[in-house]
Amino acid sequence: MLQEQINIVMGGEFYNSKMYRFLELENQEINKLKWIESEKAGRDIGKHKAVFLWVRYHRKKWLKDLDDS
């Protein structure tokens, strides 16, 4: 439903934008962190905690590395 609304409003161009690609890359990194930390904890830590950990401990370096590449 939301995807259809975005396609109507944005004409599908959003999915080809740099912003969308950036958000997808960041989401992939958060999901990797969520998996790793969940494995360490022996349980699912949840998306909210994964985002918190990502922003608190990893995002700044990731952005710098992304900018340098």
CA angle 68, 32, 53 (to 5 degrees): 80
> Domain containing 40: what range?
2-68
| pLDDT > 70: percent of the chain | 84
pLDDT at 17: 87
pLDDT in tens, 14-40: 888 888 899 999 999 999 999 999 999
Give the residue with greater pLDDT, 5 vs 34.
34
Chain mean pLDDT for the chain = 90
Q: Residue 12 has what pLDDT? A: 72
- Into how many domains does the chain fold? 1
Cβ within 8 Å of residue 46, ≥6 positions away? 34
